[in-house]
Amino acid sequence: MSEDGHTRLKRLHMRSMRRGTKEMDILLMRFAEAHLAGLSAKELDLYEALLEENDQDLYIWISGQDHAPEKFRGIISRILESSAPKSAAF
């Protein structure tokens, strides 16, 4: 039985929120809320593969302490953009 698109988005959103470390929960939840629905099937596959990685590696990659594997660099850049504080408009 295959999963429909709506169910997949809900599952990935939940996996983004329930990582195990609060830092990763926050970063990935923000990304998921802002971007999951707009990702292509290929991008969702990549994001799902990223979610398979452990939190310690993800945090090291996202925090810039080490380079992420090449295949994840684009999606990690998007996650960082989602988590960046918005500057106040004056």
Question: Which tokens hold the place of 24?
Answer: 């990763």
Query: Does the pLDDT value for residue 87 go beyond 60?
Result: no
How many other C-beta atoms can be found within 10 angstroms of the C-beta atom of residue 53? 13
- Reported pTM: 0.86
Share of the chain above pLDDT 90, in %: 67
Q: What is the DSSP string of 19-61?
A: SSSHHHHHHHHHHHHHHGGG--HHHHHHHHHHHTS-HHHHHHH
Asked if 67 contacts 59 with a C-beta cutoff of 8 angstroms, the reply is: no
Q: Which residues contact 11 (CB under 8 A, 6 or more apart)?
A: 3
Identify the pLDDT of residue 61: 94
User: What is the average pLDDT across 40-67?
Assistant: 94
